[in-house]
Structure 1
């Protein structure tokens, strides 16, 4: 049995509306289909999409953090 939501689940859109090379929005991390079908999705589907978006956002942040070179190592090599 599906639980009825008292409040509408808001869209995760933050108004960035640009996509990355995989087709996910850079602001909310939804796919094209998820963005276009949001209004017709059930609350269960919306919750699932939000969980997926959170996972995508974490993966993107982790990928960005592992690719950043640190200047700290280069500066520590200097002997004055």
Structure 2
């Protein structure tokens, strides 16, 4: 039985729409079929694709083909209350 999802799974697209030598998008690491069929996938399938994309990205980092993305710390102009 498939679990019901109450929220839409956002697309992992980051707007870098070019393919690498293996056919994966350089921005989100999805295969062509995964990009084209994203809207027809169930939420469970979309979450599985995102999991696969993370695995592909980690393999690429470990192989030294891409630098790891570092989350930039955002500085708020609001004074820290703590």
In 2, Cα distance between equivalents of 1:45 and 1:3:
11
Deviation of 1:3 (Å) = 1.3
Could you say which residue in structure 1 is the equivalent of 2:80? none
- Gaps in structure 2 of 5+ consecutive residues: 66-82
Runs of 4+ in structure 1 off by over 3 angstroms are none
TM-score by length of 2: 0.76
Give the structure 2 partner of residue 57 of structure 1. Answer: 57
* Aligned position for 1:34: 34
Give the distance between the partners of 1:2 and 1:31, measured in 2 at CA: 24
Q: For 1:5 and 1:36, how far apart are their aligned partners in 2?
A: 21
Q: Count residues with an aligned counterpart.
A: 65
Structure 1 spans left out of the alignment, 5+ residues: 66-80
Note the C-alpha offset of 1:2. 1.2
Tell me the TM-score normalised to structure 1 length: 0.78
User: Whose helix fraction is larger, Structure 1's or Structure 2's?
Assistant: 1
- Report the structure number with the largest CA radius of gyration: 1
